Amino acid sequence: MPRYALKIEYDGAPFAGWQRQKDQPSVQEAVERALARLAPDLPAIAAAGRTDTGVHALGQVAHCDMGRDWDPFRLMEALNSHLRPDPVAVLAVARVDADFHARFSARERRYLFRLVSRRAPVTHDRGLVWQVRHGLDAEAMRAGAAHLLGRHDFTTFRATLCQAKSPVKTLDALEIETRDIPHGTEYRFHLRARSFLHSQVRSFVGTLERVGAGAWAPEDVKTALDARDRAACGPVCPPQGLYLAGVGYPEDPFA
């Protein structure tokens, strides 16, 4: 059966995450339902990452095996037609080798978190950012973030129900970008690693927000990290500002 890689964008608000759920809507279910319109009884699809409830994606990658050859552009168009009206779009389709696996072939995942600081409620980005009403010190947050870079035991920043075999991960990048917006500032957290623990990004951002607000010193992030204790983590921020921004492979299937 020919195998295809799908690059997928979605608004996570209506879904209980990527992974198929028994009694709740999921992004995986929406995509598989669209695929079933083209070829019934296909195997389940696999994705690079299982985003949680309310988390968005700009570049999720999944793969599927089709019963016949498809022109990638025509397959993309057909899937997008059948995905309506769900807030899910297939941005690109590529024919890949049979040994390509969206999850196990991936070499890195990139996440974006959008945090807005302003007094007035957000309107156009409602549901797409986490908003706080107080000011934040970007340089203090960057100083705190520096303690998280590299290979560490991230037990402190790992959800209690995380199913990963080990809390040891390597964080390759955590950059904080600032953008002026009307009457406020948007802070964009760009994170990159081979893989992440459950709730790790939201735990990082929630903790760094406390640093930016002045409630924590930057050095407190290292203290929390070294504690290897979930109770030492700062507040876990809400999911609506989090995006799976992209997935890296040894060779980009969509190049």
Tell which CATH architecture fits domain 3-105. Answer: 2-Layer Sandwich (3.30)
191 bridge partner residues: 111, 174
Question: Would you state the pLDDT for residue 206?
Answer: 98
**CATH 3.30.70.660 correct for 108-246:** yes
Q: What is the dihedral of CA 70, 75, 79, 82, to 10 degrees?
A: -70
Percent of the chain past pLDDT 90, that is, above it, reads 93
Query: What is residue 230's predicted lDDT score, i.e. its pLDDT?
Result: 96
Whole-number pLDDT of residue 143? 98
- Closest Cα partner for 10 from 78, 82, 87? 87
pLDDT score of 39: 87
Give the pLDDT band (50/70/90) at residue 198. Answer: very high
Distance CA 52, CA 50 (A): 6
Residue 79 tokens read as 């899937």
Q: Domain locations in the chain?
A: 3-105, 108-246
What's the pLDDT at 43? 79
Residues 32-64 have pLDDT tens digits of 999 999 988 887 899 999 999 999 999 999 999
Cβ atoms of 54 and 126 within 8 Å: the answer is no
In the set 11, 23, 41, 52, the catalytic residue is 52
Residue 168, amino acid: V
CA distance 70 to 74: 7
Report which of 154, 192, 153 is spatially closest to residue 174, judged by C-alpha positions. Answer: 192
140-168 tens-digit pLDDT: 999 999 999 999 999 999 998 888 899 99
Q: Do domains 3-105 and 108-246 have the same CATH topology?
A: yes
d(CA 116, CA 100): 38
Q: Give catalytic status of residue 52 as yes or no.
A: yes
